[in-house]
Amino acid sequence: MLTIVETDAKKGQAELGVGVLEKYWHNGIGTLLVDEALYWAKNYSSLSTIWLDVLTDNEPAIHLYEKMGFTTKKAPIKDDQGRSLKRMARKLS
């Protein structure tokens, strides 16, 4: 599953959401989804920045996002369930 939801129209920002069923992990599906999202955002949207929150202990996902050009934007935060999240973002220009 892949979602891109605009969060700040004035600044051209949107949140990226990616989910792959566990039985399909390590098959490159996450990479393909993020790559397609970035292609769409760069070529067919007016967005300037894509951001996401990822669990700090989800090292495979963090590695994927870093490989795709995302960088950490602020210190980890806690979600409403007390889990630690890392905010990452990527400029589209």
Average pLDDT (39-59) is 96
Q: Could you read off the pLDDT of 79-90 as tens digits, one per residue?
A: 999 999 999 999
Q: Are strands 49-55 and 13-18 parallel, antiparallel or unpaired?
A: parallel
Each residue of 5-47: pLDDT tens digit?
999 989 999 999 999 999 999 999 999 999 999 999 999 999 9
DSSP string, 10-73: TTTEEEEEE---GGGTTSSHHHHHHHHHHHHHHHH---SEEEEEEETT-HHHHHHHHHTT-EEE
pLDDT tens digits for range 60-80:
999 999 999 999 988 899 999
Q: Would the pTM of this model clear 0.85, i.e. be above it?
A: yes
